[in-house]
A and B are shown apart, each in its own frame.
Chain A
Amino acid sequence: MRADPARRPRFNLPSPVGAFLILAGAFILLKLIQPVIPGSVILLYMAFVIAGILIHITLDDGRLKRFGDFFIGAEGEGAATRAQRWGLLLVVPLALGWWAYEATRPSYAPPVEIFQRHPTAGEEILGRIKVPEWVATPAKWSPQAIAEGKALYRGNCAVCHGDNLDGEGPAAEGFRYPIRPANFRDSGTIAQLTLPYVYWRLTVGGIQNQFSSAMPAWVAPADAANATTLHTYDLTPDEAWKVIIYLYKTTGFEPRKE
């Protein structure tokens, strides 16, 4: 049916133009998503799209040839084709140039952070944290301790982690970078963690160390009970444990066992 070239549909997009439109379309689509997707992820996605296009073009000799021929031009081609060719030859280098400019232009933003959701604590550090007997097994959690934990949570943690433990406290928006307060209802936080680990997080906080989160340190490290910081630690070890069991009880997760 396609034997007669004259019968071909008149509007026939040359494949380089098609490829360009797909690329540009994918890029714009990714850029349109709100809240914005980080540039690193867009780059990753675009690499896949480019790979897909390359695969498509090179899977067929005819397609590959037509792709190359477009840039060479043929006798008697229409003005439209010529315009498309010069358009591409203009737009693509310009886009690449813009990209290079953006990437190298000096900027005053802090460097992109690779954030680790759960900073790694050595076994020897976690090993020093002894879980009290009344905390170790969920069955032994007393309603009174949980109630006290709730009060402590409301007073200290809820502004960031939210009344619902979903990380949506009134102050949460302020900690957009590099990371928001944890949403304890997500299976990726306390559900995966052991009791000593959660306790350890409350001893180290975040802002003053390499973990660079906004979370303050709440309780003195296990091996330095009398340590002080700029402020004194707000919670005693017992209080910290009470908050922790409140977190687990309310979200319905069980602490991970060793």
Chain B
Amino acid sequence: MKRDRALLAQGKKPEWDKRVGDKPREKICLALSLVALFLLLGAGTAGAQGPAPSAEYRVFLGMDSRLAVWIVSQLHLMFAAFVLAVPMFALVIELIGWRSKERRFDLLAHEMARLLPPAYSITAILGATLAFLLFTLYPRFMGYLADIFGPTMVIYPLFFLGETFCLYFYYYSWHRLQGNLKWAHLLLGLALNIFGTAVMFIANTWATFMMTPNGVDAAGNLISLNNAIWNLAWMPLNIHRLIANITLGALLAGAYAAYRFLTVERAEERAFYDWMGYTGNLIALFTMLFLPFAGYYFGFELFSFSATYGVTLMGGVLSWLFIIQAIVVAVLFIGAAYYAWLGLLRIPGSEPQRRWTPAFNTILIVGFMIWATPHTMAASIEESTGGFHPVLGALGVMAPKMIAVTLILVVLYASYLLYRRAGRVITVSWKDVGNAIQWGVLALTALAIIALGVYGYFAPSEVRITTSILQIVVLIAGILFTFILDVFLLRGSQAVGVVRWGTMPRRGQYVLIVLSYVIVWLMGLMGYARSAARLNWHVFGILEDTSPGAGLPSLGEVAVIVTIITLIFFLLLAISFAISAFMGRSLVSEVESQTEEEHQ
């Protein structure tokens, strides 16, 4: 570090800085991003002025308007989610690195941030295309939305501009703002995150207003912009998306790390990417714990907004979509847990912990079997029992599913506790008592959750809502208590050996890659669900969709289109990763070669 500053003082760049900033291709990237930005700003302001209220719908180049908007908006959402999430944990990891003074954290944060500039350009290009498509193809609808949300549509580009500047400065000033100036860099990262979150929240007002319009009279005239913004679904969607976006970003970063793990040749690099994949999966698993509840909260608000949502989501056209969702979510959880358990292999002395995995595995699988049990079944004529099945019907309702999902969370948390003590020897004098209390409390938590669930099963439905909330409270209390205990219990514990980063089996890396595909697909599916729930309305109950594309496609068609969107997303992401690889060799190898040079 000292050497770097000395070099800088002489007007020279330190070794690792040479590759960044000097190359013409760097400038090309920057220029491209700026072009994209202005495109987007142009489209945004054009929209804010509102189009001439001529046609209701237009067709552009003969394409299917609905399909075009569907694909572009979903891709835009996915990229936006990625560039929102990555700075979040880049910042946290950078902060950890700053506090702990461990160089690898800073490297990891930088490595993640490196994915940002190209991805951000693609986000902007997609956003501009989306705005263009929407204003061209749906003039009446967008005119209406602009009437209601005019002011927010003016603020939006400003925040967006703020996000852009912070993002590029955050990345490009990484090396300059080190050492004494680190705090400035961290502040920049914080500003980036605030702007990014604000941008998402603003866009969410439009999306949720379309679902649960508020602040307008029956004819749709604006009464209160404030109420229109604070519509019923806004906060739930903000929360659900914020968390889900972190999961998404973490899993994509994990997949990137897995890919690098599989392709790099040097052991140090492999160790680094192994650790990066582990971190990504850990963040994903942690954030995923909250998603079921955030999702239920969102669904609950929709349900209370209109009976039609209740019918559509739970018994009607979308009921089968939610069964697919349950299965896909199960795959996500199981995959992430598998990777975490497999990670025990790289910890020497973790044999006692590994003994638990068969039991955990069984609970997880059985739990998800219950969770994915459909309430209404697809049955052939011989199998049909009239839509209800006495055994499956008993499992397919709320109470058993809540037991299953909460127990799954207990097991995942217990795995985490085991992971913390894998390969360590606890040294505190009260370790036996402490252990007994800890596992006893965890077992009691599980028992209480089951008892509450069983009670709720036989109780009337109002009581059942209370028992499910109590289950969550018990879960959180159990986790808090045991975690605090754990912190004291592990104080001063000794590691038996160092974690052997880089020794994760290759199958673990493939799991990470599959998981990233699965979450992107899930996101595509749920983006469709959000739109489809409105049925034939642009703005639910206020502005009807009278275009030829108003009907809902079949579920099979949806799956195909979501798959296509997922593939395009990965194609674009691969392009942006390739650009970031083009921008310089892996940072780890830079540092290693730098230290080698120093040794010579």
Contacts and interface: CB of A to CB of B under 8 A. Distances in A.
A192 B303 CA distance: 10
A38 B378 contact: yes
A102 to B, nearest CB: 12
B369 A58 contact: no
B163 to A, nearest CB: 37
A176 B573 CA distance: 50
Contact of B377 (A33, A41, A187, A194): A41
B382 interface: yes
A256 B369 CA distance: 31
A183 B540 CA distance: 31
Given A38-B379, A192-B314, A258 B386 contact: no
B593 interface: no
A131 interface: no
B563 interface: no
Contact of B535 (A122, A175, A177, A258): A122
Contact of B379 (A178, A183, A188, A256): A178
B361 A52 contact: yes
B306 interface: yes
Interface in A28-55: 33, 35-41, 44-45, 48-49, 51-52, 55
A99 interface: no
A244 to B, nearest CB: 15
B338 interface: yes
A104 interface: no
A110 B379 CA distance: 10
B358 interface: yes
A52 B369 CA distance: 11
A56 B355 CA distance: 11
Given A48-B368, A61-B345, A192-B307, A123 B383 contact: no
A193 interface: yes
A35 B385 contact: yes
Nearest to B385: A35
Contacts of B382: 36, 109
B315 A188 contact: yes
B384 interface: yes
A39 B377 CA distance: 10
A58 B383 contact: no
A230 to B, nearest CB: 25
Interface string A229-244: 0000000000000000
B56 interface: no
B306 A40 contact: no
A59 B327 contact: no
B373 interface: yes
A118 B357 contact: no
A117 B380 contact: no
Contacts of B320: 114, 116
B534 to A, nearest CB: 10
A192 B380 contact: no
Contact of A178 (B310, B357, B384): B384
Interface in A51-85: 51-52, 55-56, 58-61
Contacts of B460: 187
Contacts of B334: 51, 55
Contact of B380 (A38, A44, A179, A197): A38
A110 B381 contact: yes
A45 B377 CA distance: 13
A124 interface: yes
Contact of A118 (B315, B369, B541): B315
B306 A258 contact: yes
Majority SS at the chain A contact face: loop
Given A35-B389, A61-B505, A197 B307 contact: yes
Contacts of A177: 379, 381, 384, 386
B526 interface: no
A52 B314 contact: no
Interface in A194-253: 194, 197
B106 to A, nearest CB: 33
Interface residues of B, number: 61
A193 B386 contact: no
A120 B555 CA distance: 15
Interface residues of A, number: 54
Interface string B98-114: 00000000000000000
A38 B226 CA distance: 50
A60 B535 CA distance: 49
Q: Which of A60, A114, A121, A258 has the most CB of B within 10 A?
A: A114
Contacts of A4: none
A41 B374 contact: yes
A113 interface: yes
Contact of A112 (B361, B369, B380): B380
B341 A113 contact: no
Contact of A175 (B308, B314, B386): B386
B555 to A, nearest CB: 8
A145 interface: no
Interface in B377-399: 377-392, 397
Contact of B316 (A118, A123, A178): A118
B361 A33 contact: no
A112 B379 contact: yes
A192 B379 contact: no
A39 B384 contact: no
B387 A178 contact: yes
A119 interface: yes
A129 interface: no
B386 A56 contact: no
Contact of B342 (A36, A52, A59): A59
A109 B383 CA distance: 11
A176 B377 CA distance: 13
Contacts of B240: none
A44 B312 CA distance: 24
Given A39-B380, A120-B535, A258-B307, A44 B316 contact: no
Interface string A119-138: 11111101000000000000
A257 B303 CA distance: 11
A256 B386 contact: no
B507 A58 contact: yes
Interface string B475-505: 0000000000000000000000000000001
A113 B381 CA distance: 9
B314 A48 contact: no
B358 A56 contact: yes
A149 B568 CA distance: 58
Contacts of B358: 56
B316 A117 contact: yes
B544 interface: yes
A74 to B, nearest CB: 23
A218 to B, nearest CB: 20
Interface in B308-365: 308, 310-312, 314-317, 319-320, 327, 330, 334, 338, 341-342, 345, 354, 357-358, 361-362, 364-365
The list of the 5 closest CB pairs from A to B, nearest first, reads A180-B386, A117-B315, A118-B315, A179-B387, A52-B365
25 contacts: A38-B380, A38-B389, A41-B373, A44-B369, A52-B361, A58-B342, A59-B338, A59-B354, A110-B381, A112-B379, A113-B379, A117-B376, A118-B315, A120-B308, A120-B311, A120-B316, A120-B535, A123-B308, A177-B379, A177-B381, A177-B384, A178-B384, A180-B385, A187-B460, A197-B311
Interface of A: 33, 35-41, 44-45, 48-49, 51-52, 55-56, 58-61, 109-110, 112-124, 126, 172, 175-180, 183, 187-188, 191-194, 197, 256-258
Given A110-B380, A124-B544, 11 more contacts: A37-B389, A41-B373, A55-B361, A110-B381, A115-B378, A115-B387, A119-B316, A123-B541, A177-B381, A193-B307, A197-B311
